[in-house]
């Protein structure tokens, strides 16, 4: 049991170390002066992340870590559908040719890339809940969602990865997607807290419903902001 004045619980320390090492690997991989295209590099990094988390959990006997990773990975796979709809139908999300295979109009690495923000949002909110309170944990989930997705929106275009187009922007971030991404982070955290002790198969329909909520909210706020207001 963690106490509020403890610096880091072992699962927090191990997870922090893993993410520091992964961040360093990302920098080295993306700036390496080699011919490999960015899509292949991102696919390699996504693969490493989705292997290292469950391996860490099993080696250190952090069962909750493995369960959260599995939930995040399943939800990440489902997130192909909103990305596909936004890019191929509404044409407000663009995936350039990046040297990797496509899933419809979506770069293949996206099937696993969503694992990273989902894991971070839920994990941070869980740790805040343990140290402080349930109410504060939801604020943590919302703020973490805004920060994590905001940073990715403002930076991924520099890698010649996906980018928003044909919508109102703040810098490189689409205005319409801000609230849906916060809703997405909150719903992922709330739902996982409800099903984390259930059979792993429950994660599949739960993740699917979260994806539908994200797809619906993204479509609604796109229509509201880009059609009704703007």
At 191-209, the pLDDT tens digits run 999 999 999 999 999 999 9
Residue 141, classed as helix, strand or coil, is: helix
Asked whether residue 5 carries a pLDDT value surpassing 60, the answer given is no
Q: Report the C-alpha gap between 42 and 49 in whole angstroms.
A: 11
Kindly state the tokens that stand for 61.
């006997």
Query: Rounded to whole angstroms, how far apart are CA atoms 14 and 210?
Result: 28
Share of the chain above pLDDT 90, in %: 84
Name the DSSP letter for residue 176. Answer: G
Structure tokens at 62: 């952090």
Distances (CA, A) of 113 to 76, 80, 228: 7, 10, 32
Query: What phi and psi, each to the nearest 5 degrees, are found at residue 227?
Result: -110, -50
DSSP annotation of 93 reads: E
> 102-103 and 93-94 as β-strands: parallel, antiparallel, unpaired?
unpaired
Q: Over 70: is that where the pLDDT of 4 sits? A: no
Q: How many residues can be counted in the chain?
A: 230
pLDDT of the residue at 7: 78
Q: Give CA–CA dist 166/56, Å, rounded.
A: 41
- Residue corresponding to tokens 């980018």: 163
Terminal-to-terminal C-alpha distance of the chain: 51
What integer is the mean pLDDT of 163-168? 93
Q: Is residue 188 within 8 Å of 211, Cβ to Cβ?
A: no
Q: Is the pLDDT of residue 10 over 80?
A: yes
Q: In the beta sheet, which residues pair with residue 93? A: 164
| pLDDT grade for 6, boundaries at 50, 70 and 90 | low
Using CA atoms, how far apart are residues 88 and 22, in angstroms rounded to an integer?
32
Do 180 and 211 touch, CB atoms closer than 8 A?
A: no
SS3 32: coil
Asked if 103 and 64 touch (Cβ cutoff 8 Å), the reply is: no
Structure tokens at 198: 């259930």
């Amino acid at each position: 049991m963690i106490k509020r004045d403890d610096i880091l619980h072992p699962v927090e320390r191990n997870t922090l170390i893993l993410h520091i090492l992964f961040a360093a690997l990302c920098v080295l991989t993306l700036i390496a002066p080699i011919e490999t295209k960015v899509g292949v590099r991102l696919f390699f990094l996504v693969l490493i992340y989705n292997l290292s988390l469950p391996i860490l959990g099993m080696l250190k006997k952090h069962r909750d870590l493995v369960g959260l990773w599995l939930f995040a990975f399943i939800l990440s796979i489902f997130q192909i559908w909103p990305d596909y709809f936004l890019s191929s139908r509404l044409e407000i999300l663009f995936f350039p040719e990046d040297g990797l295979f496509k899933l419809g109009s979506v770069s293949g690495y996206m099937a696993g890339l969503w694992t990273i923000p989902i894991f971070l949002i839920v994990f941070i909110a869980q740790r805040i809940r343990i140290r402080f309170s349930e109410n504060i944990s939801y604020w943590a989930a919302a703020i973490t969602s805004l920060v994590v997705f905001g940073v990715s929106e403002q930076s991924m275009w520099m890698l010649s990865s996906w980018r928003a187009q044909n919508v109102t922007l703040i810098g490189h971030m689409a205005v319409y997607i801000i609230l849906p991404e916060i809703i997405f982070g909150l719903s992922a955290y709330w739902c996982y807290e409800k099903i984390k002790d259930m059979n792993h198969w429950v994660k599949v329909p739960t993740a699917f419903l979260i994806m539908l909520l994200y797809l619906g909210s993204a479509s609604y706020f796109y229509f509201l902001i880009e059609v009704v207001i703007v």
